[in-house]
C-alpha cells in the first residue's frame, strides 16, 4: 500500500503535445519560487539549471549562463496529492543569493493547493487514477 500511496505524492506531470513550444513568462518579474510542497506547480523540466541548483552544486560564481529560472513557461504543470508544507530556504542559500544579487529561484513555481485535500483524499486519488487510466487531459488557462 505504501508504494501505491507514494505514486500520488510524487509530482505527476501533465503536458500538452506542444510542451516544448515555450512562451515568455508574463509573471517573470513578480513570480514566487519556493521549496514548499505544493499540490499544483510549474515544475522544472526545461533545459538549464535554477539558481538553487547552481548553489547546491557549487556553481557559485555563476560563470556560465546555463541557467533556466522560469523566464519562459512550457505547456506543462505538475500535480500531487501530498500534504502541503511550508519549507523555508536555508540561511546559506539566502546569503548566497544576496551576495550574487539574484532572486531565490528553486525547482518550482507554486500555483496553489487543493482545498479540503485530507477530507476528500480518496476521491482525488480515484479521480487521478481514472483520468490516467483513460488518458484524459488537463489544462491551465492563463487569462
Task: Output the pTM of the full model.
Answer: 0.79
Which distant-in-sequence residues (6+ apart) come within 8 Å of 103 by Cβ?
33, 51, 69, 97
pLDDT per residue rounded down to tens, the chain (143 residues) = 566 666 667 777 877 788 788 888 888 888 889 999 999 998 877 667 888 888 988 988 887 777 778 888 888 888 999 999 999 999 999 999 999 999 999 888 999 999 999 999 999 888 888 877 787 666 666 65
Amino acid at each position: 500500500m505504501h508504494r501505491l500511496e507514494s505514486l500520488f505524492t510524487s509530482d505527476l506531470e501533465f503536458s500538452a503535445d506542444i510542451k516544448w513550444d515555450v512562451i515568455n513568462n508574463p509573471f517573470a518579474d513578480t513570480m514566487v519560487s519556493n521549496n514548499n510542497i505544493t499540490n499544483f506547480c510549474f515544475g522544472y523540466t526545461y533545459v538549464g539549471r535554477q539558481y538553487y541548483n547552481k548553489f547546491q552544486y557549487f556553481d557559485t560564481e555563476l560563470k556560465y549562463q546555463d541557467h533556466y529560472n522560469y523566464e519562459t513557461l512550457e505547456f506543462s504543470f505538475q500535480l500531487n496529492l501530498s500534504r502541503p508544507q511550508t519549507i523555508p530556504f536555508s540561511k546559506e542559500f539566502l546569503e548566497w543569493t544576496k551576495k550574487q544579487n539574484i532572486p531565490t529561484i528553486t525547482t518550482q513555481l507554486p500555483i496553489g493547493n487543493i482545498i479540503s485535500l485530507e477530507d476528500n483524499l480518496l476521491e482525488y486519488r480515484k479521480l487521478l487514477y481514472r483520468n490516467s487510466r483513460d488518458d484524459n487531459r488537463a489544462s491551465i488557462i492563463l487569462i
